[in-house]
Amino acid sequence: MLGLKLATDPRWVNIVESNIEEILTDHAWCEQKAATNAITIITLNSEHTDLVTELLELAKEELEHFQMVHDIIKKRGYTLGRERKDSYVNELYKFMNKGGNRVQSMVDRLLFSAMIEARSCERFKLLSKRIKDPELSKFYHELMISEAGHYTTFLKFARQYGQDVDVDKRWKELIEFEAKVIQNYGKSETIHG
């Protein structure tokens, strides 16, 4: 799905179902990080009006997702837990070339963002298909569609602004890199865990 090399083991959903409160807290913070990341990209690339326009919309959607998860947390009598670290995303972050020029850094950050959207989308799809809770199944189906749109947006801007960079080559490298990282996940009740 979305170019990913490795599919998540469906048994990951059983782990998730054993601790719904934890997956919801982790998920809420994933949405917060997604909103923050979009704002960072805007901050670093403010001269690209089309990018700023679309990423402002995207950041708003991520905040809405955060709110939707928080609403479910409240409805179920839970409390949003403290911020969770995302070790998958932290490992993926290492792929980014920090010493390159501005265009290279921009392309890498957009591809990094597209990859997180792709994996989140894959996880949401699996949840929507397999989770027994009907409310969450419907919710994850809706989010899967939204995150797929974000994936497309990030990849589009990487290609549009990365004229001097071999974006497709870099994307293929990231797909390989992500496949190695994700091998060690799928064992805990977090969105990327």
Point out which span in 75-83, 90-98, 110-118, 130-138 binds Fe ion (CB under 5 A). 110-118
Q: Closest distance between Fe ion and the C-beta of residue 116, in Å?
A: 8
Selected from 86, 108, 147, 189, the binder of Fe ion by CB under 5 A is: 147
Q: Closest distance between Fe ion and the C-beta of residue 154, in Å?
A: 9
Residues near 50 by beta carbon (within 8 Å), at least 6 away in sequence:
none
Of residues 51-70, those binding Fe ion (CB under 5 A):
62, 65
142 or 168: whose CB is closer to Fe ion? 142
62 or 122: whose CB is closer to Fe ion? 62
For residue 162, the SS3 value is coil
Question: Which stretches of the chain bind Fe ion, using CB under 5 A?
Answer: 31, 34, 62, 65, 117, 147, 150
